Amino acid sequence: MPEAPRNDGSALPGSVDDTAALLARGDYLAARSLSTAVFLALRLTRPLFLEGETGVGKTELACVLARTLGRELLRLQCYEGLDLASAAYEWNHARQLLAIRSAEAPGAPADARDTQALYAREFLIERPLLRAVSQREGAAPVLLIDELDRADEPFEAFLLELLADYQITIPELGTIAATEPPIVVITSNRTREIHDALKRRCFYHWLDYPDFDTELRILMLKAPGAAAELSRQVVAYVQSLRRAELFKAPGVSETIDWAHALVALDATCLSPQLVEDTLGTLLKYQDDIARIRGSEAARLLQQIQDEMSARAG
Query: What does the pLDDT profile of the chain (313 residues) look like in tens digits?
Result: 434 333 333 589 999 999 999 999 999 999 999 999 999 999 999 999 999 999 999 999 999 999 999 999 999 999 999 998 899 999 888 887 887 787 666 655 655 555 567 777 788 999 999 999 998 888 999 999 999 999 999 999 999 999 999 999 998 888 999 999 999 999 999 999 999 999 999 999 999 999 999 999 999 999 999 999 999 999 999 999 999 989 999 999 999 999 999 999 999 999 999 999 999 999 999 999 999 998 999 999 999 988 888 877 6
pLDDT at 130: 95
Number of Cβ atoms within 10 Å of the Cβ of 45: 20
Displacement of CA 154 from its chain's centroid (Å): 21
Contact 202, 186 (CB under 8 A): yes
Domain borders along the chain are 8-88+127-207, 94-123, 212-302
| Contacting residues for 94 by C-beta, under 8 A, at least 6 apart | none
- 8-88+127-207: which CATH topology? Rossmann fold (3.40.50)
Distance CA 72, CA 81 (A): 26
pLDDT at 240: 95
**In which region does residue 248 sit, left (phi positive, over 0), alpha (psi from -120 to 50) or beta (all else)?**
beta
pLDDT at 94: 86
- Single-letter residue type at 230: L
pLDDT at 116: 63
Q: Which of 144, 139, 110, 114 is nearest to 129 (CA)?
A: 144
Number of Cβ atoms within 10 Å of the Cβ of 86: 16
Task: List alpha helices for the chain, DSSP H.
Answer: 16-25, 32-43, 58-69, 84-87, 93-104, 128-133, 153-165, 196-199, 212-222, 228-242, 252-264, 272-278, 286-292, 295-312
pLDDT at 196: 95
pLDDT at 8: 37
pLDDT at 313: 65
